[in-house]
Structure 1
């Protein structure tokens, strides 16, 4: 008996560490087991799924439920490619899945689900990381080429300032101030260059600090919605830098929502920003896989980002606003990258979603 339990625990540990979503169903499609990858894919958990059937969390998209019932009735195995799963939450997933009969008493179904968009997402994330590294290299090279002559110009202006009369020093001081301004701009393009001050951090505390700051700035003109996952644990991070990163995104979101309201002259459309957090299990961020991660969505109801800008918004000096510097998102990507995370963006008219992915475990 003890040996049997040990084997069962070993198999459960193996399933829990798979990136493939595994679902075990009773013959009537009642849920018996979900591994962490399935919990993440189906936006549910074993605790919440107790007493539910697969049909309670999955709407009958592309006849998936009919296929499962047929497998239970006939005992045959089935494989379906590029099937759309419509979840009860409203989310959609394009997946490949296989269903087979487990030789158990009572009969159970084993469903293996592989998201089709997972490889595309990993490829996109690796592209973002490569883009970030390329940007850093270019900016470092440019900073070196700019700051060296700037130092010479500033030094020469200081020497000249000593030789001129008080009335003529106005011009040398303009040169010195402009040289300092350009140097500061280059430093901002480089982003944070200090070592992270790692300490236990809570993502909700960070979001609440940002919300408080923006509520004060907006003077009550923005509606803030919160949809937090209370199960998220603390993680090791630089709290002040993370506040800056989130604030850069949320402030952009607030300005976009204001611009949308002004351009449409629609006073009834309240500028709205939603902060949402979710735990992710067995999540891949770029090339790395993590047992536990966090997804933060910062969503605004602004006009959206123009398609021609969407692929380049994390480059320095790229901005969709006339008064924007184009540095905020680049700095944010750099800060999140230092925490081994990533920032993505999905946008359409009326909704822009900036997605922050962070690992919630120690990363070497």
Structure 2
């Protein structure tokens, strides 16, 4: 069987080789005759291995794509467009926008473009489900830990009172270790439970007042070597929310950024940018909003370590030695209580936290 060769078909397919979208050419029996480099990359297979495979062999539900090809041939439309979720055994589902165009001799040219919006919605849905499960787990664990901690601390205090005077100084050191560690764990538990205890105090919020408050607090702690640049959209309206919670959420992110910039602060070129914009027609937690606040907190630090990048909002996950791993968890909780969410993109030299909140 003669397999397709790019050198042989160079003239016919030259215009498709550099396309960013994936292109497949199938014959009258829905067997793959050609795949451009983007398609090879999407399907994680070479043209040689794809050649002569049928659409049904490429995808578990390839019959949907085959039906699209058949309709294209039968009706001779200029093209047929459809959103598909193509299933591949043991791999992630491909959410694509497909365009099928009929050619000569029963051939069909299929263009596949990743459906970025659907991917984003699926990612948000998974994140929200995981976030809710984490909150329930942490809340239950915190309550289970809290009661024994009180007993341990009380027992250590009683033990200290019963120590014989002769050995008091020698043994008191150990009881104090127990008491102090119990207090430390109590503080940690209180921080885990804090977002669920405090009432939601709603009032008019100006996001730039929030940013300015955070900016002054962080610059007071890092007066040298750090610049915090403003890039505000003054047209953003006030909205209803809990100002103190939002200050804490933004402060946690900016403070984390400042700590990650320790090396650049020492060199004197550390920078954090606070950028506000209006986003339009945005979907948050499956709800469509006409307007939303789009707040970016950008730093020029080393970036988030790849091994924790997907888990940074989970409780007790920290990229800094000695960190509690609660700052971003609390920030995400406070933002979610305002029907919003936080996203993050990071690479060496640039980390961008994006807070999205619905606007009236």
Same-fold status (TM-score > 0.5): yes
Q: Specify which of 261, 267, 270 is matched with residue 257 of structure 1.
A: 261
Unmatched tracts of structure 1, length 5 or more: 1-76, 83-94, 99-113
Deviations 1:187-234 (A, max 9, x none): 213342211111111111101111111122111311222111111111
Whole-angstrom distance in 2 between the partners of 1:318 and 1:197: 29
Q: Specify which of 196, 200, 207 is matched with residue 196 of structure 1.
A: 200
Scaled by the length of structure 2, what TM-score is found? 0.64
Query: What does residue 321 of structure 1 align with?
Result: 320
Query: What does residue 359 of structure 2 align with?
Result: 360
Residue aligned with 1:311, SS: helix
Whole-angstrom distance in 2 between the partners of 1:330 and 1:190: 12
Residue aligned with 2:151, SS: helix
Whole-angstrom distance in 2 between the partners of 1:80 and 1:358: 33
Whole-angstrom distance in 2 between the partners of 1:318 and 1:241: 21
Superposition CA RMSD, Å: 2.8
Give yes or no for contact 1:225–1:275 (8 Å, CA) kept in 2: yes
Residue aligned with 1:353, SS: strand
TM-superposed deviation, 1:356: 0.5
Whole-angstrom distance in 1 between the partners of 2:182 and 2:199: 27
Deviations 1:79-103 (A, max 9, x none): 9999xxxxxxxxxxxx9799xxxxx
Residue 178 (str. 1) matches residue 181 (str. 2): yes
Query: What does residue 330 of structure 2 align with?
Result: 331
TM-superposed deviation, 1:298: 0.2
TM-superposed deviation, 1:354: 0.4
Query: What does residue 244 of structure 1 align with?
Result: 248
Map 1:271-286 onto structure 2 (within 5 A).
271-286=270-285
TM-superposed deviation, 1:171: 4.0
Give yes or no for contact 2:285–2:339 (8 Å, CA) kept in 1: no
Deviations 1:284-312 (A, max 9, x none): 11212222211100000111112221100
Q: Specify which of 213, 226, 232 is matched with residue 228 of structure 1.
A: 232
Paired residues in the alignment total 254
Deviations 1:132-185 (A, max 9, x none): 111111111211221121122122233334434564555434423321211111
Query: What does residue 211 of structure 1 align with?
Result: 215
Scaled by the length of structure 1, what TM-score is found? 0.63
Comparing both chains, which one has the higher relative contact order based on Cα–Cα distances under 8 Å and sequence gaps of 6 or more? 1
Whole-angstrom distance in 1 between the partners of 2:265 and 2:159: 52
Unmatched tracts of structure 2, length 5 or more: 1-77, 84-95, 100-112
